[in-house]
Structure 1
Amino acid sequence: MEFARPLPSYLVQRYHGWKATTFEANKVWYRRLVTEGQHPRAMVISCCDSRVHVTSIFGADQGEFFIHRNIANLVPPCEPGGNHHGTSAAVEYAVTVLKVAHLIVLGHSQCGGVQGCIDMCKGKAPQLEERGSFVGRWMDILKPRYETVADIEDAGRQAQQLEKQAVLASLENLMTFPFVASEVAEGGLSLHGLWTDIGVGGLEGYDSAQKKFVPI
């Protein structure tokens, strides 16, 4: 496999720094994580965006969160029989094997995936419309929600609202998985929708009673 290259030196240096400091100071904890296995209380589905750092936002340590990241933090509807279902597989494992008590969908501001969906819906992204575009076909999950924001003239506000719709669409799609729906009905699992404003460090949660996102 000659195309696989060694790590860049700056990453190697950072690893050795971590091993000598953070790991060394907590090696008993790391050993427990291995011997006792993982028992996260929550699963977080967030965006791949490098600016979204779930463990930092919540001050979490290793072993606390089962984290899955994808473009625009989307969950597809339950569709058994396909070939590759990375997000669905992660949800299944978290709910049926790890028995997480909370499942959090975390959206964010300035989401490139959501903007790509807007551009597609406005006919400004022909490359994403191509059948061979993985990003485009993934964003098809969100496209039906564009109708809810289509009349918003301010581009920034429109994007922000569709980012929140992405969270809601994912929550609704989660309930199409029988094992999720049954755990929710029995009280063993709760679903949460969050949206973070990267620039100001804000966090909002969806309030089902008020039917809107409210500051946390």
Structure 2
Amino acid sequence: MTHLPERLLAGYRNFMSRRYPSESARYQSLARDGQSPETMVIACCDSRAAPETVFDAGPGELFVVRNVANLVPPYAPDDRFHGTSAALEFAVQSLKVKHIVVMGHGRCGGIGAALNPSAEPLSPGDFIGKWMGLVAPAAEAVSGNAMMTAVERQTALERISIRYQLANLRTFPCVKILEDKGRLTLHGAWFDIQTGELWVMDPKTGDFTRPDLD
């Protein structure tokens, strides 16, 4: 009797028979020496936009934290629970990553919820609604633009939100200090699920462009 969905067990069998044998030395090294990724990725928990897949990353290459709509709460050293902030603290202070990438994506359900705050909550706790309140000012501005279509508003807020999260990252003293010293670089990226295209944010203008793949 198994206690996991058969699809997961089948995937694990495939991993052990195909991938692990070719990467066993790397896994053993990671187990012995620990991880030392140079890049942290803050991504959405949407199953269609996995950073390890998009960036074709191997074990130990990326330190990834995923939450609804790839949000970063502003620095708040209080007695509440802060999962994303804890991961950020560990990545910057312990792993000493050199890059932090905020990666949004198209057709994000969290962003859609932010654009429709009057929709019926999924539960009495309305955790998604409260969480997406982090981008409420931008959502209100975008949703009020009658000249844009619904799809345009969705994409616009997905990208604007990335800029919001980069600003929130800089409220963390450890991030701001290291960025000012040139020891940490912040990046924004947006992934189009339908086309597979990755759009990268220009740090100076905030515009998103597709990188040259040649």
Is TM > 0.5 for Structure 1 vs Structure 2? yes
The structure-2 alpha-carbon separation of the partners of 1:137 and 1:131, relative to structure 1 and needing over 3 Å to count, comes to farther
Take 1:25 and 1:208, find their aligned partners in 2: how far apart are those partners?
38
TM-score, with normalisation over the residues of structure 2? Answer: 0.92
Take 2:40 and 2:85, find their aligned partners in 1: how far apart are those partners?
13
Equivalent of 2:135, from 139, 142, 148?
A: 142
Identity of aligned residues (%): 39
Q: Does 1:43 align with 2:40?
A: yes
Structure 2 residue matching 1:59: 3-state secondary structure: coil
Q: Which moved more, 1:197-206 or 1:61-70?
A: 197-206
List structure 1 runs of 4+ shifted beyond 6 angstroms.
none
Q: CA deviation at 1:131?
A: 7.2
Q: CA deviation at 1:211?
A: 3.1
Equivalent of 1:166, from 161, 183, 197?
A: 161
Which amino acid in structure 1 is aligned with residue 158 of structure 2? E
Equivalent of 1:119, from 116, 119, 124?
A: 116
- Give RMSD over aligned pairs: 1.6
Q: Is the 8 A contact 1:131 1:137 kept in 2?
A: no
List alignment gaps of at least 5 residues for structure 1: none
Q: Does 1:153 align with 2:165?
A: no
Q: Is the 8 A contact 2:106 2:155 kept in 1?
A: yes
TM-score, with normalisation over the residues of structure 1? Answer: 0.91
Take 1:132 and 1:199, find their aligned partners in 2: how far apart are those partners?
32
Take 2:114 and 2:70, find their aligned partners in 1: how far apart are those partners?
13
Q: CA deviation at 1:126?
A: 3.9
Structure 2 residue matching 1:142: 3-state secondary structure: helix
Structure 2 residue matching 1:158: 3-state secondary structure: helix
Q: Is the 8 A contact 2:115 2:140 kept in 1?
A: no
The residue that corresponds to 1:17 in the other structure is: 14
Q: CA deviation at 1:202?
A: 1.1
List alignment gaps of at least 5 residues for structure 2: none
The residue that corresponds to 1:215 in the other structure is: 210
Take 2:205 and 2:33, find their aligned partners in 1: how far apart are those partners?
41
The residue that corresponds to 2:126 in the other structure is: 133
Take 1:21 and 1:126, find their aligned partners in 2: how far apart are those partners?
45
- The total of aligned residue pairs comes to 208
Take 2:35 and 2:210, find their aligned partners in 1: how far apart are those partners?
31
